[in-house]
Amino acid sequence: MRSISFVVALLFALVSSTYAWPEIHVLEARKGGKGNGTANGNSVNRACRKMAKLESITALAANQTKLDAMVAKGRLNATEVEAIKAKAANATTELQTMQGNTTFVTECAVIGAHQKVVGQCKAMKSLAKLSDLANNATAMAALASKKQLNETQMAKLQEKIGNATTKLKEMQANTTLTDLCASQQKAKAGDASASTSATQAQSTGGSAAKGAAAGLSAQSAPYIFVPLLAGVFAMLL
Ligand SMILES: *[C@@H]1O[C@H](CO)[C@@H](O)[C@H](O)[C@H]1NC(C)=O
Ligand SMILES: *[C@@H]1O[C@H](CO)[C@@H](O)[C@H](O)[C@H]1NC(C)=O
Ligand SMILES: *[C@@H]1O[C@H](CO)[C@@H](O)[C@H](O)[C@H]1NC(C)=O
Ligand SMILES: *[C@@H]1O[C@H](CO)[C@@H](O)[C@H](O)[C@H]1NC(C)=O
Ligand SMILES: *[C@@H]1O[C@H](CO)[C@@H](O)[C@H](O)[C@H]1NC(C)=O
Ligand SMILES: *[C@@H]1O[C@H](CO)[C@@H](O)[C@H](O)[C@H]1NC(C)=O
Ligand SMILES: *[C@@H]1O[C@H](CO)[C@@H](O)[C@H](O)[C@H]1NC(C)=O
Ligand SMILES: *[C@@H]1O[C@H](CO)[C@@H](O)[C@H](O)[C@H]1NC(C)=O
Ligand SMILES: *[C@@H]1O[C@H](CO)[C@@H](O)[C@H](O)[C@H]1NC(C)=O
């Protein structure tokens, strides 16, 4: 039963996996435990997360279409919209200062690229677990009975599993990614040296900016994506 709960958790964790980079990195940094380097890495990290958050809230505050849609869906109310706009307005100067520091922006891009890969490796693991369900009637039946899924919900679950399999194959086709995940796994098993991670992040080179962009768009304020997750829950269960 425990493994079933795990799979259920995975189902929803997948949805949030793209949002995960800041937390993951904090954990990693803690594990790293390399004295000064880590402490410094942590503060840059924190600052990068802050910039991402400010960028995200600024973009949201400027996007009336999106705000209106969120209000319409009940994810935000008028008071919260005003609060977002006020927060964005207040953060303008601070954000511009951060964005004006190219050294810092570059550092954040490298961290973001690394985190993107870490997130993708995790997502692949989760997708594999889900995908495995397709070949395990016992586990499927246990899941259905535990969650008391009706036929519609079962069909949806099957579809999700099918989608997970498709997505997994797609990701596995990217050998750059699978290689990075493999060496990450190795680094974790052996000495998880910070330099390995840094090299990996660097080696993704051109995608650094893209990775950062993914981090940024993912960095929506928690009160935005928590209801979103809840919505997915409601949909399936
Ligand atoms: C950390 O840095 C300080 C100065 O920046 C230095 O005095 C100290 O020895 C360093 N500690 C370690 C563990 O490297
Ligand atoms: C505003 O948000 C919508 C999604 O809700 C997006 O499609 C659109 O590109 C955004 N507009 C701008 C200017 O970012
Ligand atoms: C908007 O939502 C917040 C909490 O999400 C709540 O405290 C506040 O009363 C709401 N405001 C209105 C006008 O509904
Ligand atoms: C405005 O930003 C400053 C820091 O930049 C912060 O100390 C202050 O609390 C913010 N005010 C509001 C209303 O968010
Ligand atoms: C720019 O960012 C770097 C790296 O985070 C930092 O060491 C430096 O102090 C910053 N420069 C200014 C002017 O804030
Ligand atoms: C199927 O799932 C059950 C329960 O999660 C597990 O104990 C079993 O090992 C799985 N069988 C296969 C062939 O993976
Ligand atoms: C299955 O359950 C969902 C949610 O509880 C419900 O909306 C739906 O109508 C049910 N479908 C059937 C065929 O019972
Ligand atoms: C499965 O993927 C298809 C195509 O991308 C999508 O339309 C559908 O909503 C997905 N189904 C589920 C349950 O996620
Ligand atoms: C493969 O994955 C890497 C790491 O995430 C990424 O930088 C690259 O763009 C991907 N390649 C393709 C073809 O999707």
Tokens for 130, please give them.
Answer: 């889900």
pLDDT at 191: 61
Task: Give the three-class secondary structure for 12.
Answer: helix
pLDDT at 42: 85
The ligand whose atoms approach the alpha carbon of 226 most closely is 3
Distance 207 CA to ligand 9 centre (A): 8
Alpha helices (runs of H) in 134-206, residue ranges in sequence order: 137-146, 151-172, 175-189, 194-203
Contacts of 117 (CB under 8 A, 6+ apart): 177, 180, 181, 184, 200, 201, 204, 211
DSSP 75: S
Distance 154 CA to ligand 8 centre (A): 14
Cα separation, 227 vs 237, whole angstroms: 15
Cα separation, 227 vs 179, whole angstroms: 35
Per-residue exposure over 30-55, b if at least 16 CB sit within 10 Å of its own CB, e if not: eebeeeeebeebeebbeebbbbbbbb
* Closest C-alpha to ligand 8, atom 1: 163
pLDDT at 9: 56
* Closest C-alpha to ligand 1, atom 13: 35
pLDDT at 232: 34
- Angle of CA points 211, 81, 233, to nearest 5°: 65
Residue ranges for the chain with pLDDT beneath 50 = 1-2, 12-37, 192-193, 195-237
* Closest C-alpha to ligand 8, atom 5: 163
pLDDT at 7: 54
pLDDT at 216: 34
Distance 177 CA to ligand 6 centre (A): 28
pLDDT at 151: 92
Enter the pTM of the model: 0.62
DSSP string, 78-128: HHHHHHHHHHHHHHHHHHHHHHH-HHHHHHHHHHHHHHHHHHHHHHHHHHH
Unique residue bearing structure tokens 């949030």: 16
Q: Which residue ranges have their beta carbon within 6 Å of ligand 2?
A: 63, 65-66, 69
Q: Could you read off the pLDDT of 10-58 as tens digits, one per residue?
A: 554 444 333 333 333 333 433 333 444 455 678 999 999 999 999 999 9
Please, is 17 exposed, middle or buried when counting C-beta atoms within 10 Å of its C-beta (0-12, 13-18, 19+)?
buried
